[in-house]
Amino acid sequence: MDVNFPPLVALLLFPGGAFLLFSGLVFEYIDRKLVARFQNRYGPRWFQPLADVVKLLAKEEIIPTGVVKSLFVGLPVIALTAALTSALYVPLFGFKPVFSFQGDLIVTLYLLSVMTLCIGLAGANTEDRFSLIGATRALTQLFSYEAPFLLALLGPAIALQTWNIREINAGAGSGLWFIIAQPIGFVVAMVGLMGKLELPPFDAPEAETEIVAGAFTEYSGRGFAIFKIGRDVELVIGLTLVASFYLGGFNSPLDFLWKTLLLLFVTAALQSLFARLRIDQTVGMWWRVGVLMVLLQLVVIIVGQHLAPIIQPVIQSLFGG
């Protein structure tokens, strides 16, 4: 939809800013509720994520000894800022992106990675052994899924010959949806999204039974709340990107709602089906299976584009004439 929001309103209130934070909480609730229903139990009530955030903000923030204090306090804020900034370039809630320029696809993806870098730095900052291991795993996972995820999102970009998210959004709706035209790319993008958000089965950096809470072990109170909110915002933006590229773009808020919720349903199902993968299994899987699949997909796209001027008249003459 083409509604022009004044930039300040978009940044602070709607569709970015406060509304985005609130919708991140709603998406987290839906995700937890779906996973619970898959496991034959009730799950939390609608205000649970909000209650978690309020409770965490009310608790004391303990700063352990041996950390660089400015980094400790500042890293969660930087992570959340990066996530909120990347929201300005994606078609949030079905409205067109507030800012757009050629190449903003790359910028958005890197802004989303800033969050993982912040997690890695936050874990390396402390003396706690669990945080160090969690930070190492987070950065290892970043190196392994980043390439296939980016390439999978490039599939529609190459097919539409543009690097601009707004144009990809507009172009994805016309013609065949990319989920049917590029199924392998869709699978890689979905799994890459789960790796980026550290959802099970790729939650090795935050494995509860092995390293307590990974990089977040020493965080409490306000810092932890800001990291949690940052993760939820990233969930929304990641789903928006994958849905807008592969499920035919967004024309209106209703369109946005059902497409992202469908993807969230699939994500929740995938979360409850598998055991946790070890970090070396994650890296092995990505660098062997993931990259090969997505490269195969790209080769098919490029070959298809070059052969299209030759094949199309042939097909038309066969069936049309």
Partner 1 sequence: MTIGSMFGDIFKSLFKKPITEQYPFVKMEVPENLRGKLIWNPEKCTGCMLCIKDCPSNGIELLVVDKVNKKFVMRYNIDRCTFCAQCVESCRFGCIEMSDEMWELASTRKEPFEVFYGRDEDIKFLLENSAKGETETPC
Partner 2 sequence: MEPKTAPEKFIVPIGPQHPALKEPGHFEFTVEGEVVTNATARLGFVHRGMEKGAENRTWIQGLYLMERVCGICSHVHALAFALGVEKLAGVQAPPRAQAIRELVSELERIHSHLLWLGVAAHEGGFDTLFMFSWRDRETVMDLLETISGNRVNYSANVLGGVKIDISDKQADAIRKGMDFLEERTQHYLKVVTEDETFLGRTRNIGVMSFEQADFLGAIGPTGRASGVKRDVRVDSPYTAYNDFPVKLITHTHGDLEARFIVRIQELYESYRLVRELVDKMPTGDLSVKVPRRIPEGEVISRVEAPRGELLYFIKSNGSDTPERIKVRTPSLCNWSSVLVTAVGHNLADMPMILAGIDPCFSCNDRIVTVNRKTDSTQMDWEDLRQFGIEYYKWM
Q: Mark the segment that binds partner 1 (CB under 8 A) among 39-47, 60-68, 215-223, 276-284.
A: 39-47
Find out whether 99 and 88 touch, Cβ atoms under 8 Å: yes
d(CA 274, CA 271): 7
- The item of partner 2, partner 1, none sharing an interface with residue 269, based on CB under 5 to 8 Å by kind, is partner 1
- The item of partner 1, partner 2, none sharing an interface with residue 300, based on CB under 5 to 8 Å by kind, is none
What is the number of other CB atoms lying within 10 angstroms of the CB of residue 58? 10
129 binds partner 2, rule: CB under 8 A: yes
Residues 21-60 that bind partner 2 (CB under 8 A): 38-41
266 binds partner 1, rule: CB under 8 A: no
45 binds partner 1, rule: CB under 8 A: no
d(CA 306, CA 257): 36
Of 38, 110, 177, 287, the one binding partner 1 by CB under 8 A: 38
Closest approach, Cβ 120 to partner 2, in A, equals: 16
Given the complex with partner 2, which of 43 and 74 has the nearer CB atom? Answer: 43
Which residues are CB-neighbours of 71 under 8 A, at least 6 positions away?
A: 121, 122, 125
d(CA 258, CA 253): 9
Of 222, 272, 287, 295, the one binding partner 2 by CB under 8 A: 272
Nearest to 160 by CA among 175, 147, 148: 175
d(CA 189, CA 207): 23
Which residues are CB-neighbours of 141 under 8 A, at least 6 positions away?
A: 116, 195, 198, 202, 204, 205, 279, 282, 283
Q: Mark the segment that binds partner 1 (CB under 8 A) among 20-28, 34-42, 177-185, 309-317.
A: 34-42
Of 274, 296, 299, 312, the one binding partner 1 by CB under 8 A: 274
Ramachandran quadrant class, 248 (left: phi over 0; alpha: psi -120 to 50; beta: rest): left
Of 174, 281, 312, 316, the one binding partner 2 by CB under 8 A: 281
233 token code pair: 């915002």
Closest approach, Cβ 127 to partner 1, in A, equals: 40
Interacting residue ranges for partner 2, rule: CB under 8 A: 38-41, 129-130, 133, 200-201, 203-204, 207-212, 272-281
Interacting residue ranges for partner 1, rule: CB under 8 A: 36-43, 269, 272-274
